């Protein structure tokens, strides 16, 4: 919890059950406590895939990439039945199994050079994280093998784990 000041230990025990220290904000009481906006139905769900090109609409997930001809790998997560106040927690593990990178990407205000969020027809949120390959330690140290991406809808058990190969 770097960067977050937490109350004393006695107070922490009582507060952790209510809101957590540094955790997600409390649910909106008008959404039934599940983050689903009015008009949405069903349980939150996520589909995870990979591509070298910007995914417009439907796309075919790619399972393998060539190290020296791949500029970047896009990690694409489509979240259905979620509210705009949600966020993706992303963890990328290299071939050794060690975490290479982690980040949290909110569904609103997440646009940047390495991430974007769009709303798909039907209201699903598409979160795209750009894993740079060319000119990075991945290329320099030839970090080839099976990479794993895990995405979790922040504050829930909704998650997906998929692997891709860099060869």
User: For residues 1 and 162, what is the distance between their CA atoms, to the nearest angstrom?
Assistant: 27
The overall average pLDDT reported for the chain is 80
Pick the CATH number of 44-166 from 3.30.1360.70, 3.30.470.20, 2.60.40.1840, 2.60.40.10: 2.60.40.10
* DSSP string for the chain: -TT-----HHHHHHHHHHT-SS-PPPPPGGGTTTTPPTT--S--EEEEEEESS---SS----SEE-GGG-SEEEEEEEEES--TT-EEEEEEE-TTSSEEEEEEEESSS--BTTEEEEEPTTSPEEEEEEEE-TTSHHHHTT--EEEEEEEEETTSS-EEEEEEEE-
User: For residues 10 and 47, what is the distance between their CA atoms, to the nearest angstrom?
Assistant: 41
Query: In this structure, what are the phi and psi dihedrals at residue 92, rounded to the nearest 5 degrees?
Result: -110, 125
What would the pLDDT profile of 93-130 be if each residue is shown by its tens digit? Answer: 999 999 999 999 999 976 788 999 999 999 999 999 99
Residue with tokens 């977050």: 4
What would the pLDDT profile of 52-89 be if each residue is shown by its tens digit? Answer: 998 988 899 999 999 999 999 999 999 999 999 999 99
First to last CA, the chain: 36
Predicted TM-score (pTM) of this structure = 0.74
């Amino acid at each position: 919890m770097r960067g977050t000041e937490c109350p004393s230990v006695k107070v922490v025990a009582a507060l952790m059950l209510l809101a957590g220290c540094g955790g997600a904000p409390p649910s909106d009481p008008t959404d039934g406590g599940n983050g689903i906006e009015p008009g949405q139905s069903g349980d939150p769900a996520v589909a995870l895939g990979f591509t070298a090109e910007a995914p417009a609409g439907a796309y075919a997930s790619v399972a393998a990439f060539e190290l020296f001809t791949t500029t970047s790998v896009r990690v694409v997560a489509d979240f259905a039945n979620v509210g705009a106040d949600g966020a993706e927690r992303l963890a990328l593990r290299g071939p050794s199994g060690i975490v290479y990178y982690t980040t949290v990407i909110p569904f609103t205000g997440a646009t940047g050079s390495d991430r974007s969020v769009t709303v798909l027809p039907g209201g699903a949120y598409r979160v795209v994280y750009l894993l740079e390959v060319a000119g990075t330690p991945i290329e320099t140290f030839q970090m080839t093998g099976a990479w794993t991406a895990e995405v979790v809808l922040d504050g829930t058990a909704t998650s997906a784990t998929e692997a891709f190969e860099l060869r």
